Amino acid sequence: MSFIIDKKDQDIFQQLSSDLRLILNANGFIEEWNERASTFLSILEENRSFFLSFPSSYRQEVYTYLKDISELPGKEIKRILFHRINGSFYEVVYTGILSQERIYLSGHIIENQDSSVVLPLHYGTIEQSLKVNEFMTNSLDIAILVLSKGGKIEYINNRCLTLLELDVGEDYINIEFDDLLTPVFLKDKLYEIYEEVILNKKFKERICYDDEVLYQIQGILFERTEKVFFIIHDRSYQQKFENLLVYKQQMESVSQISAGMAHELRNPLSVIKGFIQLSQITNNWSKYYDTIMAEINRMNSIIEDFLSVSRKKVKKQLIEPQYIFQSLVYIFQSECLLHNIDFDFEIEEVDEQVLVNEAMIKQVMLNFLRNAIEAFLPEQKNKLFLLRAKKSDTFYEITVVDNGKGMAEDVLDRIGKPFFTTKEKGNGLGIPLCKKIIEDHDGELFIDSKLGEGSTFCYRLPLLKEKPE
């Protein structure tokens, strides 16, 4: 006695079946479907692309599923997909197989149209999950990358593709991240951080800078799945704005110290003029040659120091710190002389180096000088401005002191906050910008002031014996 259902009974069960049955070509076009699928996907009557029954942000998931089926001929692959039809979401369990270059799908609709159904491994309800997915993929200005075990791309949003200069229309899921062909230095930095996070199993944050491009990268490990989740903030525009602000202040400083420089150049010019006249009278050029050349070299040094302040430099370089501050002495002397201020300096020479943006550090010093000059009352006598630079442990410590009017405690508490100023024409950005520049060089700014006695500004830069990697 046979227990196998005969063909007649099979036809009856076929009639009772509520399964969706579809045959797709390689492009996802529905070539054939049963009546149940035709009714369920009635919105596709005009354009029978299987993808159009899904939200745009979810179509990558559908594409990946069909691709998996195509790459494993003869193997059944199951997947839960979420259709959006006439504003409602439907959960369908699909089983698919490739045969004769066509994709056969059998789908079972899970009868639950409640929008509160939670999407597995997603965020909240189906509708919420898809909205979040679409926002993260297409709208978010923050780059997001998820690398699975072995460094394969599990998720990458459009912003990240743009930063890596990759084609937004291409599919990079399951590709080895290290194999990506892109000229952008960001890829190598991300993979370095990925390896560090996997090795140390700790949250990692790094600032990466290259040719006015600045990225803040944060990476965290999900230990259970061994996936690394990256968030990449593009801080380039912020960095460019800060560079522009520094350069603006440089130009203001150059304008203000130009009068002092002109005065400083007048002295060697007078000496040169006098000795040239003597040479002509005595007809003895060789006698005064060394003196004239010494004054010309002095002028050249003054001009070079002046130009070093006005140059727009954006990269950090290794330099012995004393050279930075020694090059400012002429400028400080001429400015103090012009404003009837006694200037004294002491600069210790060291063998170690500092990694700095020289122009920015000089801008900090010029801001301190400008603040000191403006701190003196017109009627004040015995004005003093002191510069001290010396080694302190593993740091190079720079201190400037003036005996101007000083600051009250309530002013001192607010002096480092942006846009706070006690000056009639000030913008309140000078000290906050100095503080930001010093912190960007791994330093810290200390300010001490007493009303009626003067102010002290001190900061330290880390000394390096070897060039950092």
Is 328 found in the same domain as 457?
yes
Q: Say whether pLDDT at 132 is over 70.
A: no
Give the residue, 69 or 411, on which the prediction is more confident.
Answer: 69
pLDDT (mean) for 51-70? 85
Same domain, 258 and 360: yes
CATH number of domain containing 212: 3.30.450.20
Q: Is the pLDDT of residue 419 over 50?
A: no
Q: Can you give the pLDDT at residue 117?
A: 38
If you average pLDDT over residues 333-347, what whole number do you get? 87
Considering 234, 254, 280, which residue would you say is the last residue of a domain? 234
Is 334 part of any domain? yes
Average pLDDT over residues 64-71: 90
Share of the chain above pLDDT 70, in %: 74
Q: Are residues 209 and 145 in the same domain?
A: yes
The string of pLDDT tens digits covering residues 95-107 is: 999 988 899 999 9
d(CA 19, CA 303) in angstroms, rounded, equals 86
Name the pLDDT band for 120 (thresholds 50, 70, 90).
very low
Q: How confident is the model at residue 12 (pLDDT cuts 50, 70, 90)?
A: low
Query: What pLDDT shows up at residue 123?
Result: 46
Give residue 292's pLDDT.
77
pTM: 0.42
| Domain stop point among 187, 216, 234 | 234
Would strands 384-392 and 342-347 be described as parallel, antiparallel, or unpaired?
A: parallel
Provide the residue range defining the domain that includes 61.
14-117
Residue 159 in this model has a pLDDT that exceeds 70: yes
Q: What is the pLDDT of residues 135-147, one digit of tens each?
A: 655 666 788 888 9
Asked if residue 39 has pLDDT above 50, the reply is: yes
293 plus 421 within the same structural domain: yes
Residues 453 and 391 in one domain: yes
Share of the chain above pLDDT 90, in %: 13
Residue 444 has pLDDT above 90, yes or no: no
Q: How far is CA 385 from CA 105, 349, 404, in A?
A: 84, 21, 9
Query: Which one, of 327, 455, 306, 340, lies nearest residue 389 by Cα?
Result: 327
pLDDT score at 44: 83
Strand order from edge to edge, sheet including 444-450? 342-347, 384-392, 395-402, 454-462, 444-450
Q: What is the pLDDT of residue 388?
A: 94
pLDDT tops 50 at residue 115: no
Number of domains making up the chain:
3
Cα-to-chain-centroid distance, residue 406: 38
Residues 331 and 426 in one domain: yes
Residues 6+ apart with CB under 8 A from 331: 257, 260, 261, 305, 306, 309, 366
| CA geometry: angle 451, 454, 459, nearest 5 deg | 120
Asked if residue 129 belongs to a domain, the reply is no
Burial of 262 (0-12, 13-18, 19+ CB in 10 A): exposed
Q: Is there a single domain that holds both residue 315 and residue 376?
A: yes
Angstrom distance (rounded) from CA 412 to CA 468: 36
Res. 285: pLDDT tops 80: no
Residue 362 confidence (pLDDT) above 80 = yes
On whether both 331 and 382 belong to a single domain, the answer is yes
Give the C-alpha distances (Å, rounded to integers) separating 284 from 95, 273, 281, 429: 105, 15, 8, 57
If asked whether residues 110 and 212 sit together in one domain, one would say no
Q: Which amino acid is at 167?
A: D
Measure the CA–CA gap between 52 and 13, rounded to whole angstroms: 30
pLDDT averaged over every residue in the chain: 78
**Terminal Cα distance for the chain, rounded:** 82
User: 176-226: per-residue pLDDT in tens?
Assistant: 898 888 877 888 889 888 988 888 888 888 877 766 677 888 888 887 778
What confidence score (pLDDT) does residue 121 get? 40
Flag whether 157 is in a domain. Answer: yes
Q: CATH no. for residue 255?
A: 3.30.565.10
Q: Does 315 fall in a domain?
A: yes
**Spatial separation of the C-alpha atoms in residues 210 and 294, rounded to whole Å:** 41
- Between these two residues, 313 and 102, which has the higher pLDDT value? 102
Instruction: Please report whether residue 38 resides in a domain.
Output: yes
Phi and psi, residue 187, nearest 5°: -60, -45
**Closest residue by Cα to residue 92 from 79, 77, 74:** 79
The residue among 234, 254, 278 that closes a domain is: 234
Q: What is the pLDDT of residue 114?
A: 42
Q: Which residue has the higher pLDDT, 364 or 421?
A: 364
Are 447 and 347 within one domain?
yes
Q: Is residue 267 part of a domain?
A: yes
**Helix or strand (DSSP H, E) at 400:** strand 395-402
Residue 323 scores a pLDDT above 50:
yes
- What radius of gyration, in Å, describes the C-alpha atoms of the chain? 36
Higher per-residue confidence, 452 vs 123: 452
Q: Indicate whether 167 belongs to any domain.
A: yes
Q: Does residue 321 share a domain with residue 290?
A: yes
- The DSSP code sequence of 71-131 is HSTT--EEEEEEEEETTEEEEEEEEEEEETTEEEEEEEEE----TTPBPTTSSSBHHHHHH
What average pLDDT score do residues 37-49 get?
Answer: 84
Judge whether 8 lies within some domain: no
Q: Based on the fold, state whether residues 161 and 112 are members of the same structural domain.
A: no
